[in-house]
Amino acid sequence: MNSTKRIFYYDLLRAIAIIMVILVHVDGIIGYGFDSLKHAIPGLLTATTWPAVPIFLMLSGALLLNRSYTLSEFFKKRFARILYPFIFWVLVTGLIGFFSFGWSGKETLKVIFGLTSPFWYIWMLIGIYLFIPIINSFLKEYGLRGFEFFLLVWAVTIFIITVKIPLLDGINLDYFAGYMGFVVLGYYLDNKQFGLSDRSMFYAGFLLLILSTVFRMYVFRYELGLYSDYNLLFTTIAQSVGLFLAVKYLDKISVDTDNIYSKIKNNIFGKAILSISICSYGMYLVHYIIIEGFEFLNIHSLKLLPIILIITVLTSWAIVFVLSKIPYLRKISGAN
């Protein structure tokens, strides 16, 4: 894709999100807990990574909603982009795990269906994509006001399951507080005019990100017993909104008369961000088997955590990048 047609802050968010995803799974090799410094550091680092999945979904909303397309066009051009790479990489992962790491058939199936692997996100994403044309029609009919109503209901239910109101324990609010809310939220934040200056929006987003992340660390440290799905917590929404706004409005802050992003997007750092963004979906699909390789080798050293993170990021990035340059393999590489 021609980089001149891309929105840089989307690419930066996507690059940040995939590194967050890999970090949380590398942290898992060391283990979480506060019985020792070895386990406390990965635990606190993990508290910073929870916006990763929401950011991916929010970008899907910003990119896919309020578009004109037929159902056949949507499934052929958009749905196929996530489906073909997923089928390829989930089979590759299962085969490597079964024949090289000694997974049983049952363990392999659990990995494939996301019960013990990050592939749960892809199964969820498939469901999200099947529903996006419906949300798209809702947006065209009711506009941002309709989305504000949707987000209000979503936020209230997320708050209820976050604080675990006893009287409502018997009601399954997952029907109202699902992952689709992040898709709607992404489009809303991308298009809503808040009436504040760009600099004020950046500071508000940055402050929200820092405060919500510190609170998230506190929650994790003292095991306050919040809802089991950490992606569907009010703290996660706050972190995700803060990160999204901070990265979006950072572009509006000038340094030496030039916007910050205009200074970096055409240098080697900016080109790396663009490449990671393009390869991010494939990296998500590939990185798990690389981490499982470290697990198979019984590497659990805290000192090696940065090295494992760098190796996993660079290796998954390189695999997807190389495959994307080979004719007929780009469709299954996960690069887009």
**Mean predicted lDDT score pLDDT of the chain:** 87
Region 321-329: what's the mean pLDDT?
A: 93
Beta bridge partners of 259: 254
What digits encode the pLDDT tens for the residues 118-138? 999 999 999 999 989 999 999
Rounded to 5°, angle at Cα 28 from 214 and 101 = 165
φ, ψ of residue 275 to 5 degrees: the values are: -65, -45
Phi-psi region of 26 (alpha: psi -120 to 50; beta: other; left: phi over 0): alpha
Four-CA torsion 175, 180, 186, 192, nearest 10 degrees = -60
On whether the CB atoms of residues 241 and 188 are closer than 8 A, the answer is no
Full DSSP string of 195-242? SS-HHHHHHHHHHHHHHHHHHHHHHHHHT----S-TTSSHHHHHHHHH
CA dist 205 → 47, 187, 189, 238 (Å): 18, 16, 11, 9
Confidence band, pLDDT 50/70/90 cuts, at residue 73: confident
Confidence band, pLDDT 50/70/90 cuts, at residue 208: very high
Domains held by the chain: number: 1
What digits encode the pLDDT tens for the residues 276-300? 999 999 999 999 999 999 999 888 7
On whether the CB atoms of residues 12 and 6 are closer than 8 A, the answer is no
Check pLDDT > 90 for residue 62.
yes
Least confident piece of the model among 42-46, 275-279, 314-318, 328-332: 42-46
Burial of 86 (0-12, 13-18, 19+ CB in 10 A): buried
Check pLDDT > 70 for residue 29.
yes
Region 64-72: what's the mean pLDDT?
A: 85
Domain range enclosing 319: 3-333
Region 9-21: what's the mean pLDDT?
A: 96
Res 1: pLDDT: 39
Region 202-217: what's the mean pLDDT?
A: 92
Region 246-257: what's the mean pLDDT?
A: 77
On whether the CB atoms of residues 247 and 227 are closer than 8 A, the answer is no
Full DSSP string of 93-151? HHHHHHHHS---HHHHHHHHTTSSSTTHHHHHHHHHHHHHHHHHHHHHHHHHHHHHHHH
d(CA 205, CA 41): 25
